[in-house]
Structure 1
Amino acid sequence: MVTLPLFISGTEIAFIIFIVIMVFGADKVPEIARGLGKGMRTLKDATNDIKSEITKSAEKQGIDLDLDVTKDIKKEIDKAKEDINDITGPIKRQF
């Protein structure tokens, strides 16, 4: 069974595709998919434009957008989770 990040199984995807074909017809599906693809591409381009504008503005203001800080924070959070699991592991097994 193939699971997507949204936790949709292959059977559910097949069912959705079946419903789309039943509602819109087989001849309209490629047109709809093309439209969705173009819309997603436009959204991605707009997101990238916004990110670049924020980065440019931050550089002009002298703000350093160091993404390593977020990586360090994520590492610390993961380490804390591991420590908690190490402590609570034996407790969970007893119940």
Structure 2
Amino acid sequence: MELSIGEMALIAVAIVVLFGPDKLPQIARDLGAGVRKMRGAVEDIKTEIMKETDNPVSEIKREIEKVKDAAKDFKSDERCSKRYSC
């Protein structure tokens, strides 16, 4: 949802008419504080989601590395047994 400059001006005029010019600074402060709290909450949620999803991914990566290492060891053991009596 995007607002044009004309729509934003109309909203500003409506706020001035409804609340008066004396209340505008307090309304702006309250609105800013609300936006900051909302952003902080969104960041907290993102952090929690990343923590929860990071653990299984890192575990899967470790398991893949273990399988790769085991495959390398198996290959080297197989080569050794075919060529020589190790």
Residues 7 and 55 of structure 1: is their aligned pair in 2 closer, same or farther, counting only changes over 3 Å? closer
1:50 to 45, 68, 73: 45
Residues 50 and 9 of structure 1: is their aligned pair in 2 closer, same or farther, counting only changes over 3 Å? same
Q: Is 2:5 the partner of 1:10?
A: yes
2:21 to 12, 26, 40: 26
Query: Match for 2:16: what amino acid?
Result: I
2: distance between equivalents of 1:15 and 1:58? 44
Query: Match for 1:20: what amino acid?
Result: I
1: distance between equivalents of 2:49 and 2:2? 32
1: distance between equivalents of 2:42 and 2:2? 24
1:63 to 38, 41, 57: 57
Task: List alignment gaps of at least 5 residues for structure 2.
Answer: 59-86
Task: List alignment gaps of at least 5 residues for structure 1.
Answer: 1-5, 65-95
Q: What is residue 37 of structure 1 aligned with on the other side?
A: 32
Query: Match for 1:26: what amino acid?
Result: P
Shift in Å, 1:40? 0.7
2: distance between equivalents of 1:59 and 1:8? 37
Shift in Å, 1:7? 3.2
Percent sequence identity over matched residues?
40
- Which portions of structure 1, spanning 4 or more consecutive aligned residues, are displaced by more than 6 angstroms? none
Give the TM-score of the pair, scaled to structure 2.
Answer: 0.61
Give the TM-score of the pair, scaled to structure 1.
Answer: 0.56
Root-mean-square deviation (CA, aligned residues, Å) is 1.4
